Amino acid sequence: MNHSNSKPAATEITSELDLVCEPESRTTDRSPSSSTARPFLGVHFHCCQVYARIFIAADGTAYRGSCPRCGKPVSFRIGEGGTSHRFFDVY
């Protein structure tokens, strides 16, 4: 075995683990820009016990989507008198 302070040979087993992770720049804004952010609703589909994000339809009048497992469709209209809630349970 090599007992010097040099790095071990490729065939030697060592108990040391050296990992390096460069942190992201602290000046970088991690929030999505308004031009790329897509509004969504979080939906828990109880039919299959899964969570999915539902996005605004192209016409902008509703959030539309479906259960990712069974395909059950859902639609949430957008308009006056609505709610500010962002997460829903669908049974």
Query: Mean pLDDT of successive 10-residue segments in the chain (91 residues)?
Result: 54 55 56 72 97 95 96 94 93 94
Which residue stretches of 1-91 are H helix? none
The angle subtended at Cα 51 by Cα 50 and Cα 53, nearest 5°, is: 145
Residue 59 lies in a domain: yes
Residue 62 lies in a domain: yes
Residue 11 lies in a domain: no
Q: Which of 3, 79, 74 is nearest to 44 (CA)?
A: 74
Residue 87 is predicted with a pLDDT of 96
Residue 22 lies in a domain: no
Residue 45 lies in a domain: yes
What one-character DSSP code corresponds to residue 6? S
What one-character DSSP code corresponds to residue 78? -
Give the structural domain span for 51: 40-90
Residue 31 lies in a domain: no
Number of separate domains in the chain: 1
